[in-house]
Chain A
Amino acid sequence: MYVYDDFDHAFVSARVAQFRDQVERRLSGELSEEQFRPLRLMNGVYLQLHAYMLRIAIPYGTLNSRQMRKLAHIGRTYDRGFGHFTTRQNLQFNWPALKDIPDILAELAEVQMHAIQTSGNCVRNVTADHFAGAAADELVDPRAYAEILRQWSSLHPEFSYLPRKFKIAISGATHDRAAIRLHDIGLQVVKSEAGEIGFSVFVGGGMGRTPFTAWHLRDFLAEGDLLAYVEAILRVYNLYGRRDNKFKARIKILMHEAGLDAVKAQVEEEFERIREGELRLPEGEIERYKRFFALPDLARRPAVSEEQQRWVKADPAFAAWISTNINPHKLAGYASVTISLKPIGGVAGDATAEQMDRVADIADAYAHGEIRVSHEQNLILPHVARDDLKSVYDELVAAGLATANAGLVTDMIVCPGLDYCALANARSIPIAQRISERLGAAERQAEIGPLQIKISGCINACGHHHVGHIGILGVDRKGVEYYQLTLGGSADENAAVGGIVGPSFDENEIVDAVETVVDVYLRSRLRPDETFIAAYRRLGETPFKEALYGAD
């Protein structure tokens, strides 16, 4: 992974010292809350319902065991012994005291982490495929580009006060696991007919109150032009993006109002103007960054692991876990492991300090110390020898982290909702917990197969409900929580915004409603391997609607 150089160390340390001074000035009264608020937000510090919340950047979801142990230590020392992994592949602590945050940031700096640009109208943490660098179906590891983008966007003076926040995601595989079509900029690494590496560029995807899947801005952008082109997009957005209404300020609204052709013409014009300038990436520099993300030294192994096969036969629980929580690796004899943070009836994305330590230990013992955070709020061990999968599994069982549900109906994305978030209108977590309990039996989940439920507690859509196969949006109706159901959303290469199926349900009805939708699917699918989303696309909403609300 990327290793800080002297500049990075000095930069992050200076920022910690600056924020320490700002907190001291706030606590001494020199700064008012109005003056302090933008300063704390620039360092990822929010004031939520119950306490301050600190959002820590995990660049493109990559961290090592030492960093994970530090997060565990911070959770134990300064918080309540747990942290929450988010859909931006970040980590949030829900209970830090303001007075402690400078110390927390100093501890993070020791392990090359920070909380800069995890809030505010700037370029946020660049996210990537959580199997980056490991997936069998990957063309190129996208993280070198993500790191280049991270450095370019860090405190970029021109883009520190954009009309609104700006999110970039990148995937090096054709199968989109990074939801790139739901980002302000989505980048897909592609190869041209001539064999050159470059990017297919998507712009203007997003969720929130006005969801759009992205417009396709460019088929092929040469590797060396990455920064010039992205800067051109940001410059056009910064110039023309609306600032009169924060709900219409994202680039998706500019795309919607101005149209693809008009925006593209402006971007291309600006790109041509600057492409030969200082932002052009020298070939040697790209290669230097790629070396940071080189595969660890993985010994050659037979493609088929007899050890894995033996235990699959001997241990049905292990076999179930292998069938869901393993992703094919680019090297024979290896796999990527998904550590589910979705225990049945648990809180999606939460991990205790003890669990974080255990994951770090397991990563050191079996996975070259590498860990990833997925935007689906799980953890990943990218490089595990198949011969070691049973040992990894046993240790995960001991840590309470071996839930065999990756990609299944209980592997939900869930925002913190009204239990924590100052913006929320309704609770998300308790609804998810009840759905998880209702549908969580192993046989039931296996019968249902791949199905993504995503839950948001308000229209800001942090829980990605718009792109859930089944999406749930919490709304407030005269002080009472109601839940709107959307169907048919998708976050992958066939990205789609789900449609609202009908009137909302109260908190007692919503779990039944979800189960009704699942049962209609099970009754209606052509074959057991016709997935929910495939069946929905074939059937349309009518049979689901009739089952939920009765025929007209």
Chain B
Amino acid sequence: MARVPKSSQIITANRLIDGRVVFYSAGAARWARDVQQAEVFADPTAAEAALKQAEQDVALRLVVDPYPIGVSVDEGLILPSLLRERIRAAGPTVAGAVVA
């Protein structure tokens, strides 16, 4: 798969009811727990439109504080650019910590 430009973005938020990290996806449920199911926007305008949609989901009480994050996509795998976002996506890096 071709490498999507580094400026690609996905939208992330925390779920209102339990605070879990979620990602805006093209699936029917809209918000996925798995970052690999996130919808990747190579075009900033598309990302902005998705963010507007995400903000409607704030009003619908699905999520809190949605925001776009930069990602790279390599061999189809989505990798958030910032360590903070990689940790949010994968869970604590601490040995023995539960990731779910």
Contacts and interface: CB of A to CB of B under 8 A. Distances in A.
A328 interface: no
B85 to A, nearest CB: 9
Interface stretch (A43-51, A305-313, A397-405): A43-51
A178 interface: no
Contacts of A481: 83
B18 A347 contact: no
A51 B92 contact: no
Interface of A: 26-29, 33, 47-52, 80, 97-99, 345-347, 418-420, 424, 427, 429-430, 433, 479-481
Where chain B touches its partner, the secondary structure class is loop
A2 B35 CA distance: 48
Interface stretch (B41-49, B57-65, B71-79): B57-65
Contacts of A80: 98
Contact of A33 (B20, B64, B96): B64
B78 to A, nearest CB: 17
Contact of A419 (B16, B17, B81, B87): B87
Interface residues of B, number: 26
Contact of B93 (A29, A47, A52, A430): A430
B17 A98 contact: yes
Contact of B17 (A29, A99, A433): A99
24 contacts: A26-B16, A26-B61, A27-B16, A27-B61, A29-B59, A33-B16, A33-B64, A49-B21, A49-B87, A50-B20, A51-B21, A52-B18, A52-B19, A98-B19, A347-B97, A418-B83, A418-B87, A419-B94, A419-B97, A427-B87, A427-B93, A429-B94, A433-B95, A479-B83
Contacts of B83: 418, 479-481
A345 B96 CA distance: 10
Interface of B: 14, 16-21, 58-59, 61, 64-65, 81-84, 87-88, 91-98
Contacts of B16: 26-27, 33, 98
Contacts of A27: 16-17, 61
A474 B94 CA distance: 16
A6 to B, nearest CB: 35
A347 B94 contact: yes
A47 B64 CA distance: 10
Q: Find the residue from A28, A33, A424, A480 having the highest chain B CB count within 10 A.
A: A33
Given A51-B21, A346-B96, 17 more contacts: A27-B17, A33-B58, A33-B65, A47-B19, A49-B87, A50-B20, A50-B21, A50-B92, A98-B19, A99-B18, A418-B83, A419-B87, A419-B93, A429-B94, A479-B81, A479-B82, A479-B83
